[in-house]
Homo-oligomer: A and B are copies of this chain.
Amino acid sequence: MAALILHEYANSGNCYKIRLTAALVGVPLDRREYDILKGETRTPAFLTQINGNGRIPVLQIGEKLLPESNAACFWLAEGSPLIPEDRFDRADMLRWMFFEQYNHEPNIATLRFWLAFVGENALTDAQRASIPARRAGGDAALAVMERHLRGGAGFFVGDRISLADICLYAYTHVAHEGGFDLGAYPAISAWIAAVARTPGYLPITA
C-alpha cells in the first residue's frame, strides 16, 4: 500500500475519525499537524499543495490527496467489516455519514470548537449570534440519534460497528465540550460506551 499521511489538527473530531478508522482496520498513518487557530491551513502553500478548500483533514495516499473526513474513512475501510456488504445497509451507513456532516457537525463540532478552543470572548458577533440556532440544531441531531438507537440493535446500522458509528462518535463523545448534556440521551450514552469497547479502539487524545 502507498504511504499514508494524515494532514490534520489532532483535536478535530474529523481528523480523529480517520485515525480511529485506520486503527480499527490496522493501517498505520503518518501524521502532519497544522494549527488551524494560527491559520496554517489557509496559507498559499497549503491551498495550492494540500487542499484548495483550506481545510483539514486531508488523507494523502502516495501522491494523491483526499479531503473530506468521511471520504477518507470510506477509502480506508473498503473491504473491511466497517462497511456493510448488504446494498441497503451500505447506503444506510452513508445516510448517517451525510447526516453527520449536514445536521451534526456544523452544530456540535462548531460549538465545541468555539467554546473549548477559540473561546467565547474571541468570537465575532455573527458567530455569537448563531449559537442559539446551533445549540437547537445540535440537540435536534442528538434527538434523532437517540430515537434511532432506542429502536435499534446497538449500532447505527444493524448490530455491529460501521463507519456510521465511527463518524458520528467522533464529535458526539466530546459534545459536552460544546456545552451539550449527554445525560439527556441514555441510548447515545450506552452506544458511546459500546464504541469505546471495540477491539483496536483508540481515544481522541492518542
Contacts and interface: CB of A to CB of B under 8 A. Distances in A.
A91 B105 contact: no
B133 A53 contact: no
Contacts of A61: 88
Contacts of A92: 66, 71
Interface residues of A, number: 36
Nearest to A58: B95
A130 interface: yes
Contacts of A88: 61, 64, 66, 75
A67 interface: yes
A95 B78 contact: no
A102 interface: yes
Contacts of A102: 68, 101-102, 105-106
A72 B92 CA distance: 9
A130 B69 CA distance: 26
Interface in A61-109: 61, 64, 66-72, 74-75, 78, 87-88, 90-92, 94-95, 97-99, 101-103, 105-106
Interface string A44-62: 0000000011000000010
15 contacts: A66-B92, A68-B102, A69-B98, A70-B94, A71-B91, A71-B98, A72-B91, A74-B94, A75-B91, A78-B90, A78-B91, A102-B105, A106-B106, A126-B129, A126-B133
